[in-house]
Amino acid sequence: MIKQNKVKYKILIVDDEKDIVDLIKYNLNQEGDFEVFCAFEGKEALEMADKIKPHLILLDIMMPELNGFDVCRELKHNNSTSKIPVIFLTAKENEIDEIIGLELGADDYIQKPISPRKVIARIKSVIRRTYAEAEKVIEREEYIKFKNLELDSSAHIVKISNEEVFFPKKEFRLLHFLLANRGKVLSREILLNEIWGENIFVVDRTIDVHIAKVREKLGEYASYIETIKGLGYRFNND
C-alpha cells in the first residue's frame, strides 16, 4: 500500500490493444490503491488527461494516427497536464526510442511483453517519487542547533564550535533545509523546487555542486550530509 485513508491515485492506461489494457486494469484494481481510466488512441488520451488530471499515465508508443511520443509531447506542452508523470509501454527494443521517450519527459520505460507485477511496481515507484515526498510536512525552524553546529536563519549566521562560517544565500538555504529535515531523504527535485523554485529551470548537477560547497564549509560535519544513491541527500541525525 502506498497511501492509506486518502483518495486513490488515478491511473490513465493508453493502449490500442484492449487485451493489454484489460490485463493492467484488472491487476491495478486488485491492488485497491488506484482508480483506473482507459483510452485506446492518442486523441482520446489527451482529452481524458485534460479532463480527469490523472496522477500517472501509462502510455503505449505504437498507436495509429497519434503515437505515444506525440501524445507525450502534447501533454508536456499543456500547462494543465505537463507535470503528470508518464511511463511508456512499448514493444520496441531500440535504445534510441527509449532515449527519445525520456527526453520528451517520460519518467520510465517498460518493454512488452509486460509483467503486471513489474508494471505495478514501476507505477508505485514513480508515484512515490513524484507525490509521496511532496506530501511530507517540512519542518521550518528559525534557529537550529545540532551538536556544535548552529544555524540562525533570521540573522543568516552559521556557527561551528562558536566560529562563524559564511554561507552564500543558496548554500545557506540548502543547509537550512537539510538541517530542518534531518533524518529524511530529500530528492534532488524536492531540493531544487525548495531552493530555486518550481518555475526556474536548473539541472540536477546544480544541487550536487552546491552540496559539495556546503560540505567543504562544514568541516567535521561534512560527512553528516549523506548521498543516498538514486534518491537524493539526507542530513544524518545520529
pLDDT value at residue 75: 94
pLDDT value at residue 133: 52
CA end-to-end span of the chain: 29
**What element of type H or E holds 89?**
strand 86-90
Let me know: does 160 contact 220? Beta carbons within 8 Å.
Answer: yes
Residues in CB range of 151: below 8 A, 6 or more apart = 143, 144, 145, 157, 158, 159, 172, 175, 176, 179
pLDDT value at residue 70: 94
pLDDT value at residue 137: 43
pLDDT value at residue 189: 80
Closest Cα to residue 33, out of 14, 8, 66, 13?
8
Residues in CB range of 203: below 8 A, 6 or more apart = none
- Domains, the chain, with CATH or none: 9-135 (3.40.50.2300), 143-235 (1.10.10.10)
Cell of 49: 488527461
pLDDT value at residue 8: 78
pLDDT value at residue 64: 87
pLDDT value at residue 173: 93
Residues in CB range of 220: below 8 A, 6 or more apart = 160
pLDDT value at residue 231: 81
pTM over 0.75: no
Going by the DSSP 8-state scheme, the letter that residue 139 receives in this structure is P
Cell of 172: 545557506
Q: Which amino acid is at 158?
A: V
Q: Give per-residue pLDDT as tens, 164-197.
A: 999 999 999 999 999 999 988 888 888 887 887 7
Burial group, residue 94, by CB count within 10 angstroms (0-12, 13-18, 19+): exposed
Spans of the chain below 70 pLDDT: 1-7, 92-98, 132-140, 198-204
